[in-house]
Amino acid sequence: MDPWHKFRRIFYSVGIPPTIWLIAFFLVPLGLIWIFSFGEKVGVVGIDITWTLDNYVRSFNPDILTIFAKSLWLAAVATFICLVIGLPVALGIVYAPNKWKGLLLLGIMLPFWTNLLIRTYALIAVLRTRGYVNFTLEWLDGAARWFLELFGMGGIALAILGERFQALELLYNDNAVILGLVYVHLPFMVLPLYAALERLDRSYLEASLDLGAGHLRTLWNVVVPLALPGIISGLIITFIPALGSFLTPDLLGGPDSAMIATIIERQFKSANDWPFGSALSFLLMYITFGALAIRALMARRRGGDGMGG
Amino acid sequence: MTDGAKTIIGIRSVTKRFNGNVLAVDDVSLDIKSGEFFALLGPSGCGKTTLLRMIAGFEVPSDGSVEIDGQVVDDVPPNKRPVNMVFQSYAVFPHMTVADNVAYGLKMDGVSSSEAKGRVEEALGLVQLPGYGERMPDQLSGGQRQRVALARALVKRPKVLLLDEPLSALDAKLREAMQLELRNLQAKVGITFVMVTHDQDEALSMADRVAVMESGRVRQLAAPRDLYEFPNCRFVADFIGKMNLFEGVVKSSAGSEISVGIDGIGDVRLPFDGSAQGKIGIAIRPEKAMVTADKPSDEDCLSLEGQVTQVAYYGNESHVFVKTASGLDFSVTTQNNERSVVAATNPGDRRWVSWRRKDTLVLAE
Ligand SMILES: Nc1ncnc2c1ncn2[C@@H]1O[C@H](COP(=O)(O)OP(=O)(O)OP(=O)(O)O)[C@@H](O)[C@H]1O
Ligand SMILES: [Mg+2]
């Protein structure tokens, strides 16, 4: 291959437009937000850049820190559940017959093609008091009562099942947020895991089985360590967008399940406090960088092969 | 040799079809004796690996069954079978030290760590890697990795060690050294070895018995010497070593003699103990024939006149190619055991090719 500088003209004509795009629509706005974060609000729309650290200091009040902690917690739990669900799913796809693989991967990616808002409302339709989960439970409840009464055990039915069916409150709490985050972010986990597992030489698994390990021990001793770069990628690729979610906690969460992005959005909109919102945004970004730094560090420790798809 | 030893692995009419139609192994039955070095030899795609993997438990026979030490193991998963495998790619776990690799199987069996330590040392000594325990696999050469794979399997003291082309990834020189070493190791530990290979020299020089496979079937199972001197079909005759193969028709057979008409040679009488009819193959090993200037007078010899087309000189021996008057191509291997013979035969020379009747193979198949 000739080095790129032999084709300087092609290189520049291909390389410059995206660079301009990146600068104009990503770096410049980001820089503006960074500058705003050192500003003070004057009047309704004005921002005075005074290089004050006040906005950052304000972020470190207990209320905001609690929300940061809660966001980290919700995102972490959702990410972990994604891993627990995603690993068997990815393994299943890797070991599925070849003709099924494409279809299964498509199935995993299908939700990507639907608008997030629509997906979230679909979840609401499933979970709400008059939703499909409760309909199903109600039907089961009715069937059980009918069955017990048929055998003259109406008393027992009353004792176990109560006076009448009580719909479960599945929405507007932390669990609903976690469920929503898992539902939305599962593909982010499955795809890197799939890529890592697909590359894994099967003779390692067979060697482990051959040497007397069962499937679970092979999974733990061989698959997980060898797929670790992919697992770490999956964790981070899932954790970062989960941490920054605002639609999901907004629509599915209760009054106390606000995540940090919800608060940020509020600053830019209803609270109209851009400097504070900017400072919060950057704090969130530093946390994200922290997560990425951890990954880079782990990748270096493993001999530089940290990319997992 | 191993006659009379008990059967350790019994393959009973085993057939393997992939996806319902690819016939990888076709009704194979054979017995592997305890303590022997057994080789599965055949061209690429003939089903050797599939057969080995059915013994290890990674594939399930579509038909028939596999017995290990007298027990049918069709329902026994790989991790519960008393056999261990050395993979073609070695499959040495890259995230574990050499010692952890070797100890892996012992740990799975619940062997105490103090006992495991001793056995790991012993196994590494056996494969001549003492003191390599703390290394990571990526700090080893291909040959050393292969030894680790060997130690990892041997340390479990399996009843049978399965090896899938264990030497194919090594360069020629190392391969030759490892052939000898593996052979000595087998004699030392006394474990039954079943080795897959497509290299006939490897099979002949290492194994006590060799099963030659072709498209899923075992064509011949014999000791290396018998395989070479008494192949039972054209395929084996041609696959093992070099061979001059001609076509013929049986004219008559009486007692221990057979009369055949051979294309390009004519009617000849040959010693033959079996029964054969119709079309047959006639085979002569190149080193069993001679090239001479005059027709030999020996009554026991068959001879043909022809012209030397090519002489390939290999130092210790030469391959002389002769085209007979009747149009047959004959190759003869001559030993250059005197300096004077080296220059004696040249392309264009008229020569006689001759061989003993009793060295002529009659192949019914
Ligand atoms: N998992 C599989 N699915 C479908 N067909 C297979 C599978 N494994 C092997 N085969 C087919 O079965 C036949 C025998 O394969 P096998 O690997 O046993 O050959 P081999 O003798 O070991 O060849 P080689 O010397 O090339 O390793 C081949 O035609 C192969 O394509
Ligand atoms: Mg093979």
pTM of the model: 0.80
Q: Does A219 touch chain B (CB under 8 A)?
A: no
The predicted-structure confidence for A139-178, as pLDDT tens digits, reads as follows: 898 888 888 888 877 777 777 777 778 888 888 888 999 9
ipTM of the complex: 0.83
According to DSSP, residue A26 is labeled I
Ligand nearest to the CA of B45: 1
Which pLDDT value is given to residue A303?
57
A60: exposed, middle or buried (C-beta count within 10 Å: 0-12, 13-18, 19+)?
A: exposed
Show contacts of B101-106: CB within 8 Å, 24+ apart. B101/B137, B101/B148, B101/B152, B102/B133, B102/B148, B102/B151, B102/B152, B102/B155, B103/B155, B104/A208, B104/A211, B104/A213, B104/A221, B104/B152, B105/A211, B105/A212, B105/B152, B105/B153, B105/B155, B105/B156, B106/B155, B106/B156
Q: Are residues B182 and B282 in the same domain?
A: no
Q: Does B108 touch chain A (CB under 8 A)?
A: yes
The predicted-structure confidence for A94-111, as pLDDT tens digits, reads as follows: 989 888 999 999 998 888
Q: Which residues of A touch B100 (CB under 8 A)?
A: none
Which pLDDT value is given to residue A305?
46
Q: Say which residue the tokens 């899938």 belong to.
A: B164
Residue B76 confidence class, pLDDT cut points 50, 70, 90: very high
Residues B98, B138 contacting (CB under 8 angstroms): no
Least Cα distance to A105 among A200, A185, A194 occurs for A194
For residue B323, give the CATH number of its domain: 2.40.50.100
Residues B302, B355 contacting (CB under 8 angstroms): yes
Q: Which atom of ligand 1 is nearest to the CA of B213?
A: 21
How far is the alpha carbon of A215 from chain B, nearest alpha carbon, in Å? 9
Average pLDDT over residues B309-336: 91
Q: Which residues of A touch B161 (CB under 8 A)?
A: none
Q: Say which residue the tokens 């080789």 belong to.
A: B39
Q: Are residues B139 and B90 in the same domain?
A: yes
The architecture in CATH of the region A58-128+170-301 reads: Orthogonal Bundle (1.10)
Q: Are residues B147 and B276 in the same domain?
A: no
Q: Are residues B44 and B103 in the same domain?
A: yes
The predicted-structure confidence for B124-151, as pLDDT tens digits, reads as follows: 998 889 999 999 999 999 889 999 999 9
Q: Which of A129-133, B205-209, B221-225, B238-242 has the lowest mean pLDDT?
A: A129-133
Atom 27, ligand 1: residue with shortest CA distance = B44
Which pLDDT value is given to residue A5?
67
Q: Are residues B89 and B211 in the same domain?
A: yes
Quote the mean pLDDT of chain B. Answer: 90
Last residue of a domain, one of B231, B251, B275: B231
Question: Would residue B211 count as lying in a domain?
Answer: yes
Q: What percent of chain B has pLDDT over 70?
A: 98
Helix (H, G, I), strand (E, B) or coil at B136: coil
Which residues approach ligand 1 with their CB closer than 6 A? B 18-19, 22, 24, 42, 44-50, 198
**How many Cβ atoms sit within 10 Å of the Cβ of residue B72?**
12
The amino acid sitting at B218 is: V
Domain count, chain B: 2
| pLDDT exceeds 90 at position A253 | no
Question: Would residue B237 count as lying in a domain?
Answer: no
Residues B336, B291 contacting (CB under 8 angstroms): no
Last residue of a domain, one of B231, B256, B288: B231
| pLDDT exceeds 90 at position B255 | no
How far is the alpha carbon of A238 from chain B, nearest alpha carbon, in Å? 26
What is the spatial distance between Cα B158 and Cα A225, in angstroms, rounded to a whole number? 27
**How many Cβ atoms sit within 10 Å of the Cβ of residue A149?**
14
For the CA atoms of chain B, what is the radius of gyration?
A: 25
Which pLDDT value is given to residue A306?
38
The predicted-structure confidence for B338-355, as pLDDT tens digits, reads as follows: 877 666 788 888 999 999
Q: Are residues B94 and B202 in the same domain?
A: yes
Residues B268, B300 contacting (CB under 8 angstroms): no
Locate B162 and state its tokens: 């399965």
The amino acid sitting at A162 is: G
Q: Does A211 touch chain B (CB under 8 A)?
A: yes
| pLDDT exceeds 50 at position A308 | no
Ligand nearest to the CA of B87: 2
Last residue of a domain, one of B166, B198, B231: B231
Question: Would residue B213 count as lying in a domain?
Answer: yes
CB contact under 8 A, B104 and A217: no
The predicted-structure confidence for B38-52, as pLDDT tens digits, reads as follows: 999 999 999 999 999
What is the spatial distance between Cα B213 and Cα A27, in angstroms, rounded to a whole number? 67
Q: Are residues B218 and B295 in the same domain?
A: no
Q: Higher model confidence: residue A303 or residue A184?
A: A184
CB contact under 8 A, A206 and B95: no
Average pLDDT over residues A19-41: 91
Which pLDDT value is given to residue B92?
95
What is the spatial distance between Cα B148 and Cα B154, in angstroms, rounded to a whole number? 10
Question: Would residue B285 count as lying in a domain?
Answer: yes
Question: Would residue B186 count as lying in a domain?
Answer: yes
How far is the alpha carbon of B200 from chain A, nearest alpha carbon, in Å? 25
What is the spatial distance between Cα B297 and Cα B269, in angstroms, rounded to a whole number? 17
Which pLDDT value is given to residue B3?
55
Locate B273 and state its tokens: 């103990």
Residue ranges per structural domain of chain A: 58-128+170-301
Question: Would residue B1 count as lying in a domain?
Answer: no
Ligand nearest to the CA of B44: 1
Least Cα distance to A210 among B1, B160, B36, B4 occurs for B160
Best B83, B87, B102, B119 member to test A by mutation, with max A CBs in 10 Å, is B87
A116: exposed, middle or buried (C-beta count within 10 Å: 0-12, 13-18, 19+)?
A: middle
Quote the mean pLDDT of chain A. Answer: 87
For residue B198, give the CATH number of its domain: 3.40.50.300
Q: Are residues B88 and B36 in the same domain?
A: yes
| pLDDT exceeds 60 at position B2 | no
Question: Would residue B145 count as lying in a domain?
Answer: yes
The amino acid sitting at B323 is: K
Domain carrying residue B188: 7-231
Best A100, A199, A200, A210 member to test B by mutation, with max B CBs in 10 Å, is A210
| Distance linking the first and last C-alpha atoms of chain A | 25
Q: Does A207 touch chain B (CB under 8 A)?
A: yes
Q: Which residues of B touch A217 (CB under 8 A)?
A: 108
CA A252 to chain centre: 15
For the CA atoms of chain A, what is the radius of gyration?
A: 25
Q: Are residues B45 and B143 in the same domain?
A: yes
**How many Cβ atoms sit within 10 Å of the Cβ of residue B238?**
15
Average pLDDT over residues B282-309: 89
Q: Are residues B41 and B150 in the same domain?
A: yes
Which pLDDT value is given to residue B1?
46
